[in-house]
Amino acid sequence: MIDWGWVGDHLGAILGRTVQHLELAAIAVAVGFAISFGLGLLAISYRRTYPLFSGIAGILYTIPSLAVFAALVSVTGLSIYTAEIPLIAYTLVILVRSIVAGFDSVPRDVLEAADGMGYNRRERFRRIVLPLSVPLMVAGLRLASVSSIGLVTISATLGASFGGLGFFIFEGYHREFPTEILVGAVPSIVLAIVVDIAFVRVQRRLTPWAQEQEVRRDTWEGLPSGPSVGF
Amino acid sequence: MIDWLLDPVHWSGSDGIPIRLFEQVAISGASLLIAALVALPVGLWIGHTGRAANLAINIANIGRAIPSLAAIGIIAPITQAFDPELGFKVYPTLFAMVILAIPPILVNAYAGVSGVDRELVEAARGMGFRERQILARIEAPIALPVIAGGLRSATVQVIATATLGALFGFGGLGRYLVDGVAQNDDGQIFGGVFLVAALALLAEGGFALLQRVLTSPGLRLAQSSAETPSA
Amino acid sequence: MARTLEWRTRTGVDTDHGRAATVEFDHVSKVYGPVSARARRAGSPPAPGAVNDLSLAIPAGAICVLVGPSGCGKTTSLKMVNRLIEPTSGRILLGGIDAATRELTDLRRGIGYVIQQTGLFPHQTIVENVGTVPRLLGWPAARIKERSEELLGLVGLDPAKYAGRFPSQLSGGERQRVGVARALAADPPIMLMDEPFGAVDPIVRERLQDEFLRLQEDIAKTILFVTHDIDEAIKMGDLVAVFQQGGRVAQFGTPTELLASPASDFVARFVGADRGLKRLSLSRVRDISLQPAVIGRLGEPAGEARRRALADPLPYLLLVDGLERPVGWLRDIEIDGDGVLTEAMAIPMSPLLSPETTLKDALSMMLDADVHTGIVVDRTGRVSGLVTTESIGGFLRETAVGATPAPEQDAP
């Protein structure tokens, strides 16, 4: 069923696509995190902005990524933006929620203790709020990264210069060549799982005070209504 | 988009909106049903006993990491070998959507049940409830809002993501996105997006309503009075 | 089914659902974790909650309080009765029948269970909560409803007002009452209560305790009651078992025995340095012999009364009305030789005590009024005698006789 000869001949292309896959996902998560952090600060400073954002995110989340990629072609042409804008947009849905949830997860008594000891607002944020919101932020990053890796495969609908490993899935399908489909599908699954596990490790290392239990569960409980984007 | 939606031509025939809508609902409904049949019993059981919870949650997390497109791609060559027709058009999408739907259903069922106050469970046990009765009469009703939340988020994800099936020969509303791109027909793309989003939001609203109806008023009251205990 | 149950309830001969049953711990131990011989030899302390060779016999209809510091095994002992925890060794006999031989859920449905957090089901109404065990037992709906409402009334909650509410709409004290009502629903012969009043504030707790003691006079269940509060133990218990670390019972006896003669330094420390005062709260005015009062009636010739008063060591005459109800005191040497006794001559009253007043309250009232004597009156208000601070002291000395291993701190 699998044409190993074809696989052997295309090792270079597979490697190249893997690198492209990671690149597209990494840019999306990095830019998305920067924007989300800003939006998160805005949300905790001006509480009224948050429901608005949640509402928009909720609707964005019902729009199939397939359509978003297609719709952008008429706006941005076939550039890197066409691929990245949707990827970044979907990471925002996840990251803003997890960042705000992280800020909100700091117990009130801890904040009061900090105020009582004379922290000013800036110090309190940097020394107390930020470190304590790391677990939920990393949980959000984990979800956003895994989701982006999935979405990158769909950007292959934009053409041969995008899609990372998803390119092989599409080309294999059009050529009715199962080996190529699998060459796209299996590594992209492996990539997603490896990144997922890597983040669990990072979560544990960054938050020695959190119990194993929390690390495992906060990914869903911190984002109770923040489902992962369909990918 | 509005012109496209209002054009009576698009509302009839084998390629008409009613048929596509039906296909979308059917694949989403079937995959959610299968996922619920698998994930609910497992989630409730590990939530009640606490046994094998880590294993099940880790598997669910891995399931969440799998890109849907890759899941379709990896299963297509296999099911196609057994059934050239459905094995190519239906099963891969169905399989990928089941994988997509299981993690939120499973994790929320587990989190909901294991989150029920252990004192309550012990009180029930001490009064002579059998284990099955504890799960059915105490834990499940109390965990219901969380369990329904998992189903709700799975439903929205599946409806939006099942559009990917159109890339692999399945019908459904995704057809309009794929064909719209191929034919450079923005009206068709946005019409499709509108239908998918409307369906997803409708399903979400339906679930929210169901959740409200099924949740005991005692739990709602408990939640609203959690911050200001009654005198 | 329902007919049988009704019959059982009425006759009370069945161990499942009747008035009360004996509870007996027979060399019961609970060991946690794999206890290796090496750990034993090394003398490592037992895990918290362990129970070591517990033997207690609790007569039917008594309240037995298990009290001790946390981790001493009192809750473990309680939970071994309804087998939420299985003993490692030994037997627990309920009404003479080994609990281990009973079908598990059957056993538990026949034992009332009340816990500190009440364990009320938040998704069910109050009346549904109370009807829990009858429903498990398959009673017909009408009978469950009738019984639930009856019980709500019994614990002082108006069914018309409370039946349809949810637990979150009740105060802490009301929830505890519902918890008690729920435990009583199937008329179990035995009740287990695990710090049932621990989660409410002291004032509500005291009221719940009083109400529960009154309720117990009617229902007369055998009750195992866990608390870490020695005052609650002394107040609630017919019998008290004091647990100490390692799951051993340091002393088992009536509250009076415990206070009058603690079996060890641990018990003496645990019951507290004020145990003399605590004993006073256990005894009532009727328990001590009253001093006779020298009485003068309104309208009586004063000279005669003065002579009677001077003949008595107490320098006061108690003035009473025609129905022998106290009016006030007269100082003997200040009574004029002529005329009659009138109300205007009387100086302020001592506190009035009833035979039911505890000695602690009596003493406190006397101290408040800055007098040494309290007047005891019966139900109709007639004087029946006097209590003095000396007679209370004498009572303490008497009941402690031959029972004081600890150093002299007990002497008044």
Residue C122 has its nearest CB partner, among B122, B126, B219, at B219
> Of residues B11 and C224, which shows the higher confidence score?
C224
Chains B and C form CB pairs within 8 A to the count of 83
Look at residue B189 and tell me whether its pLDDT is greater than 70: yes
Cα gap C310→C294, rounded to integer Å: 10
Residue A185 has its nearest CB partner, among B74, B160, B193, at B74
Contact between B72 and B165 (Cβ < 8 Å): yes
For chain A, list the domains and their CATH numbers: 10-221 (1.10.3720.10)
CA angle A180, A186, A192 (to 5 degrees): 135
Distance from CA of B24 to the nearest CA of A (A): 13
Cα gap C230→C67, rounded to integer Å: 7
Distance from CA of B226 to the nearest CA of A (A): 16
pLDDT digits (tens, 9 = 90+) for B17-62: 888 999 999 999 999 999 999 999 999 999 999 888 888 888 888 8
Residues in C closer than 8 angstroms to B141, CB to CB, are: 123
List the beta bridge partners of residue C251: C242
DSSP, residue by residue, B98-119: HHHHHHHHHHHHHHHHHTS-HH
DSSP, residue by residue, A34-64: HHHHHHHHHHHHSTTHHHHHHHHHHHHTTS-
Cα gap A168→C246, rounded to integer Å: 68
Pick the CATH number of C287-395 from 3.40.50.300, 3.10.580.10, 3.30.590.20, 2.60.40.10: 3.10.580.10
C83 three-class SS: coil
Interface test with A, best of B46, B64, B147, B156 (most A CBs within 10 A): B64
Contact between A37 and A100 (Cβ < 8 Å): no
- CB–CB of B230 and C136 under 8 A? no
The mean predicted confidence, pLDDT, of chain C is 83
In this structure, the number of other CB atoms found within 10 A of the CB of residue C72 comes to: 25
CB-based contact, B211 to chain C, within 8 Å: no
- CB–CB of B128 and C169 under 8 A? no
CATH for the stretch C2-110+186-272:
3.40.50.300
Question: B216 pLDDT band (50/70/90 cuts)?
Answer: confident
Mean pLDDT on C373-386: 86
- Ordered by start, the domain boundaries in chain B are 2-7+34-220
Is B2-7+34-220 a CATH 3.60.70.12 domain?
A: no
Question: C1 pLDDT band (50/70/90 cuts)?
Answer: very low
The token pair at C291 is 């001093």
The token pair at A149 is 């890796």
ipTM: 0.80
Find, among C273, C248, C247, C244, the residue nearest to C259 by Cα: C273
In this structure, the number of other CB atoms found within 10 A of the CB of residue A9 comes to: 10
pLDDT at residue number A112: 87
Contact between C71 and C49 (Cβ < 8 Å): yes
Least confident of A52-66, C313-327, C394-408: C394-408
pLDDT digits (tens, 9 = 90+) for C88-136: 999 999 998 999 999 998 899 999 999 887 789 999 999 999 999 999 9
pTM of the model: 0.77
Cα gap C119→C269, rounded to integer Å: 33
CA distances, C279 to each of C42, C161, C257, C361 (Å): 41, 41, 9, 12
Look at residue B65 and tell me whether its pLDDT is greater than 90: no
In this structure, the number of other CB atoms found within 10 A of the CB of residue C71 comes to: 18
DSSP, residue by residue, B46-97: HHHH-TTHHHHHHHHHHHHHS-HHHHHHHHHHHHHHH-TTHHHHTHHHHHHH
Residue A185 has its nearest CB partner, among B70, B100, B197, at B70
pLDDT at residue number B33: 97
Look at residue C55 and tell me whether its pLDDT is greater than 90: yes
Contact between B123 and A25 (Cβ < 8 Å): no
pLDDT at residue number C67: 93
DSSP, residue by residue, C16-54: SSSS---EEEEEEEE--S---HHHHHTTPPPPTT-EEEE
B and A make contact (3+ CB pairs below 8 Å): yes
Report DSSP state, residue A106.
S
Residue A150 has its nearest CB partner, among B58, B68, B181, at B68
pLDDT at residue number A15: 93
Mean pLDDT on C17-37: 78
Cα gap C85→C78, rounded to integer Å: 9
pLDDT at residue number C162: 92
Look at residue B229 and tell me whether its pLDDT is greater than 60: no
Cα gap C328→B127, rounded to integer Å: 58
Residues in A closer than 8 angstroms to B177, CB to CB, are: 64, 66-67, 70
Cα gap C130→C163, rounded to integer Å: 9
Please report, to the nearest 10 degrees, the dihedral formed by the alpha carbons of residues B86, B91, B92, B93 taken in order.
110
Report DSSP state, residue A156.
G
pLDDT at residue number C408: 40
- Ordered by start, the domain boundaries in chain C are 2-110+186-272, 287-395
Residue of A nearest to B189 (CA): A67
Question: C10 pLDDT band (50/70/90 cuts)?
Answer: very low
CA distances, C283 to each of A78, A215, C268, C287 (Å): 95, 58, 19, 6
pLDDT at residue number A168: 93
pLDDT at residue number C335: 77
* Intra-chain end-to-end CA distance of chain A, in Å: 27
pLDDT at residue number C190: 94
Which residues does C225 contact at the CB level (< 8 Å), separation at least 6?
A: C63, C64, C65, C66, C193, C196, C233, C236, C237
pLDDT at residue number B136: 93
CB-based contact, B8 to chain C, within 8 Å: no
Which amino acid is it at C18? G
- CB–CB of A169 and B70 under 8 A? yes
Q: Which residues of chain A have pLDDT under 70?
A: 1, 209-231
The token pair at C404 is 């004081």
Pairing outcome for strands C97-98 and C248-253: unpaired
- CB–CB of A67 and B66 under 8 A? no
> Of residues C25 and C42, which shows the higher confidence score?
C25
CB-based contact, A230 to chain B, within 8 Å: yes
Question: C222 pLDDT band (50/70/90 cuts)?
Answer: very high
pLDDT at residue number C9: 34
